[in-house]
Structures are given as C-alpha cells and as structure tokens.
Amino acid sequence: MNTIQTRIATIADLDSIAPLFDAYRQFYEQAPDLAMARAFIGERLKNSESVVLLAFNGARHIVGFCQLYPTFCSVEAKPTYTLYDLFVVPAARRSGAGTVLLRAAEKLAAETGKARLDLTTAKTNKPAQAAYESLGWVRDNIFYAYSKTVGA
C-alpha cells in the first residue's frame, strides 16, 4: 500500500513547492509563471505568513500541498486558519493525499489553538465538496462571499 505522510514545509522545500503551486494556479486558469510562483511561496515561508503542509507518497515524492493562512474571527475573538490552497498532482488523485492533507491541517489547527478552519471552493468543484463534507466540513448557507479588485 502506498502510504501518504505529511510534514510542514520549510524554506528549504521551496524548489519542490514552486512547481506544484504553479500547477495549482494553472488549474485555476492562470498563466504558467514558475518564477512568480517561487517568489510568492518563498515570501510566505520566509516571512512566516503561511504554513504549507506537504504530502509525500511511499517513495518520498511530494504529491500535494495545502497552504494555510493564519487569521482571526472577530465575532468569536479567536484565531483561525484559512485553507486557501489545496492541490494534489493528477497522478496522485484518488490516492487519499487530499484527505491526508485535510486531516493534517485540522490536527495542526487544533494543536496551535485555532478555533476553526475556513475554505472556499468553486460551486462546480463537486469532487472537492464531497471530500470536504465527508470529513465533517459544513457548507455555509447563510453568508455570501464578495470580493473587489483594487488598483495597485
């Protein structure tokens, strides 16, 4: 059996994470840009602005990652994580890597005193929705999400 394991990434993992992050962005219809992907992830890790969990298969190859951003819930007055990025390489999909990453994120959140994990996904991403719900995530049917692009 091909067992999936996880660990927290360090800046030493940057060259391994960058291509996965670039592929993740391409999944969301962004143009390939490995240099930008490397710079973005590098800054997050260097400045401790996010936590990246890596998933490895039995051969110790990285097969996926998730990125957690620490934030706060003002209503609960507690810290939370936003799980913004979750990606598993196509060859490793349906291997359980996504589930292992989600469980590792939940464990880390509990260990670091976070009140909860939040995430958003595309309305059309039915496989991801099914995975989240099977692990106890609850879809929000009360609030709408809004965003606004602002000039740089």
Report whether 60 contacts 15 (CB < 8 A).
Answer: no
> How many domains is the chain partitioned into structurally?
1
Asked if the structure places residue 31 within a domain, the reply is yes
- Tell me how far the alpha carbon of residue 98 is from its chain's centroid: 9
Provide the domain limits for residue 81: 5-134
Spatial neighbors of 63 by CB under 8 A, at least 6 apart, are 4, 55, 56, 57, 88, 89, 91, 92, 95, 97
- In CATH, what number is assigned to the domain containing residue 22? 3.40.630.30
* Residue corresponding to tokens 């390489």: 89
Per-position pLDDT tens, the chain of length 152: 469 999 999 999 999 999 999 999 999 999 999 999 999 999 999 999 999 999 999 889 999 999 999 999 999 999 999 999 999 999 999 899 999 999 999 999 999 999 999 999 989 989 899 999 999 999 999 998 898 999 87
Asked if the structure places residue 151 within a domain, the reply is no
pTM of the model: 0.92
* Residue corresponding to tokens 């490397």: 38
